[in-house]
Amino acid sequence: MNSAAPSPPDRPRLLILHGDDLPPGRERIEGHPGLGGVAYTTADGLSAALPGTDILFVWDLFSEALEASWPEADALTWVHAATAGVDNLMFPALAGSGVTVTNSRGIFDQPIAEYVLGLVVAYAKDFHRTWEYQRERRWEHRETARVAGSRALIVGTGPIARATARLLTAVGVRVRASGSRARTGDPDFGDVVLSSTAETGPGGEPTLFGEIPAADHVIIAAPLTDATRGLVDRAFLDLMKPTAHLINVARGPIVDQPALVEALDSGGIAGAALDVFEREPLKAINPLWGLPGSVVSPHMAGDVVGWREELVDLFLDELSRHLDGREPRNVVDKCRGYVPG
């Protein structure tokens, strides 16, 4: 689909890049009085549709089509992503331009935190084995682990990580975190160490090296950047205790998949719950589907009923701010690849 309406003078033109699905409630966008026209395109038509476009709404959630079409972006001033992660948009030409990039930070925080809490409880209470034994009509009494008093290490300190920390703390889990800088006295995490597996940071700061071995649950909730790509490698996994579980609700490339497969297969860690993967959808032949302690979900941790409508609500709020000359809510630092703060 590639359609456009005539653009009144001096009003910005909006282009919506979509995949198989269009945003719900499109009439609210199309009827916005501040717009000079709304057009729709898929990735194949992006290059032809971009000239003269002022605003791009990336509804095709993980599309990388903008980079190839960038030479045609002759009027673009603002790109809004219907996702929290914007790694698919952080190509050099856009990062070095004057174009503002905003994301959908805030929409997925609580749903993803609830998803993580569910996984922590499911692992501790051995639900997967209960379901397995029920299918086998097998009565076997077991003891399970306490959730309260267990330790969680959250890699990341953004809003998803904070929402997760608050939920886990509420059920008695002791939470620590790692981020781009070490600090103490954080209201949600207490102590934050440096996201590095070196024994100490460049200035002697505490790092993951001292926290991973004590963690029962290691939760990846960081943006994909040059610093986090491949962070969970063999050295990281070797620091985890054999009874610990890894949970990744961030981005697939943060985890070294071959190293994780080896750790699961050898019993180096007890399990891994993965909602994101380097290549999606995950192919049926991928070993992660059947490894001991492995939980595979199709990138759905934040997708609760009504999430698409919430994304449109957020975009309309940002659109009003943009047209009124007010500061947007979620401006991405294009050097860092995420919204700071």
Active site positions, annotated: 251, 280, 299
Alpha carbon separation from 3 to 18, 37, 71 (Å, rounded): 12, 10, 21
CA distance 176 to 215: 9
Strand order in the sheet with 151-155: 183-186, 190-194, 174-179, 151-155, 217-220, 245-248, 271-274, 294-296
CA distance 184 to 337: 24
Helix (H, G, I), strand (E, B) or coil at 102: strand
CA 214 to chain centre: 25
Residues 89 and 61: beta-carbon distance below 8 Å? no
Structure token pair of residue 187 = 């209201």
Residue 162 class from Cβ within 10 Å (0-12 exposed, 13-18 middle, 19+ buried)?
buried
Q: Which amino acid makes up residue 89?
A: L
- Counting every residue written for the chain, the total comes to 341
